[in-house]
Structure 1
């Protein structure tokens, strides 16, 4: 199956993972540190390798996100990119999970649009976290949409 996954880069992914776990309630967190043998490839000392992240994965609101350290590349997310978590409001488990995510984070992020009913009939909210990642939450009754 072909798929696209958000793959974020951070200056310190180990620190970012702790943030997403604490603030967003991230689950299923895995992290592959840079091995001591690979440290030189990443322009770091073997002592610093364990704190560097070659690859990681975590789930937020049943959505998988991948991440690694930026290794000298730009660590800011392009302002033209947002992560959209879209859910069917009829799926009680998904709706509860996404709406609980918003309630957990709303005091710790920069809320651009509160998660609430919109003129088109769905729910929408948007916010930016401390790493400049812009998140959009969208809930819709997909049984009412014509195909």
Structure 2
């Protein structure tokens, strides 16, 4: 089981646009995107007149070094759910990681393109915690643990 990874996988109506948003607002890196081939489009029964370059079969990006995969929803419009959140957790004893998390939170909030649910600040436990929801309904939790 040591070779097992759990990678968040997000589904969007337009992943190409979502990737632009996450690059601009969250500063994500290592962005990759693959459009479907004509054969794949045929196998998925997509309309022949669709612009394949606008569609995303698979994409990924990194945020604070963590991988997130994503793709277009080819099964219809994705449903927004508050049941799943993505947590970025760092050890507050690692000053570089703590600063990176703080900087990311400030960047995201400064964009004014997220809704702040909980301001990222020190709690009575000594840990730091904050929460935002992005324009796609994804909840991002920022946590610094002692």
TM-score, reference length from structure 1? 0.90
SS in 2 for 1:98: helix
SS in 1 for 2:93: coil
What CA distance in whole angstroms lies between the structure 2 residues aligned with 1:59 and 1:24? 10
Show the counterpart of 1:133: 138
What CA distance in whole angstroms lies between the structure 2 residues aligned with 1:55 and 1:4? 17
The partner residue of 1:13 within 15, 21, 25 is: 15
1:50 CA drift (Å) = 1.6
Matched length = 141
Show the counterpart of 1:54: 57
The partner residue of 1:94 within 97, 100, 119 is: 97
| 1:119 is the counterpart of 2:136 | no
Q: Which whole-Å deviations, capped at 9, do the CAs of 1:86-115 have from their partners, x for residues lacking one?
A: 101111221121111111111220000010
What CA distance in whole angstroms lies between the structure 1 residues aligned with 2:15 and 2:75? 13
What CA distance in whole angstroms lies between the structure 2 residues aligned with 1:31 and 1:137? 26
1:54 CA drift (Å) = 0.8
Show the counterpart of 1:2: 4
Structure 2 unmatched runs, 5+: none
1:76 CA drift (Å) = 2.9
| Contact 1:54 1:68 survives alignment (8 Å) | yes
SS in 2 for 1:110: strand
Structure 1 unmatched runs, 5+: 142-147
TM-score, reference length from structure 2? 0.90
| 1:22 is the counterpart of 2:24 | yes
Show the counterpart of 1:71: 74
| Contact 1:40 1:46 survives alignment (8 Å) | no
1:47 CA drift (Å) = 4.3
